[in-house]
Structure 1
């Protein structure tokens, strides 16, 4: 299962509105090779899930994850930080054994 914090859900809704996306759009989260730790997160909006996607919903927002990426994301919580150290999405991924300093790449 993948969860979305309330703060992240609010930010996702705000981004959809700012970009003129429909409220029904979902956030696609993928894991790709790359980054300083070997694997990186990629996010984008999509209108519909693919047939093999796993879809999770929290606080009215949906995340779609392809089957391959899901193996790296099981148990993850997507959060959003608006603090003084920088604004952005935070991936609380229990599968990551190593994270890079910027938080956008990891290793298992």
Structure 2
């Protein structure tokens, strides 16, 4: 399973408060596209199935579809907030 940094978890929690729903998970996936043939997708999702890998880190539920798990097993999701960049990185 991927690693969620405390900074990323904090930002996800802020987004969950804005949504007003505590039952939503952070879904991270690998999809076709991009220069290397793959691109990352990350969004809030309330549709979790038994085909998903699921784990809680820093109070945030993370779900990954089983096909994406091998590509994300060593990945780290972070949140950067600087003058040069603001956003999530994988």
Assess if the C-alpha contact under 8 Å between 1:4 and 1:57 holds in 2. no
> Shift of residue 23 of structure 1?
1.6
Assess if the C-alpha contact under 8 Å between 1:3 and 1:57 holds in 2. no
CA distance in 2, matches of 1:36, 1:16: 31
> Shift of residue 51 of structure 1?
0.8
Within-5 A mapping of 1:22-33:
22-33=21-32
Q: Specify whether residues 85 and 71 from structure 1 end up closer, same or farther in structure 2 by C-alpha distance, changes over 3 A only.
A: same
- Equivalent pairs, count: 90
CA distance in 1, matches of 2:44, 2:81: 21
- Segments of 4+ moved more than 6 angstroms: none
CA distance in 2, matches of 1:21, 1:30: 23
**Which SS does the other structure have where 1:43 is aligned?**
strand
* TM-score of the two chains, using structure 2 as the length reference: 0.90
CA RMSD of aligned residues (A): 1.3
Q: Which runs of 5+ in 1 are unaligned?
A: 92-108
Residue 66 of structure 1 is matched in structure 2 by 65
> When you count strand as a share of all residues, which structure comes out higher?
2
Residue 13 of structure 2 is matched in structure 1 by 13
* TM-score of the two chains, using structure 1 as the length reference: 0.76
Q: Which runs of 5+ in 2 are unaligned?
A: none
**Which SS does the other structure have where 1:68 is aligned?**
coil
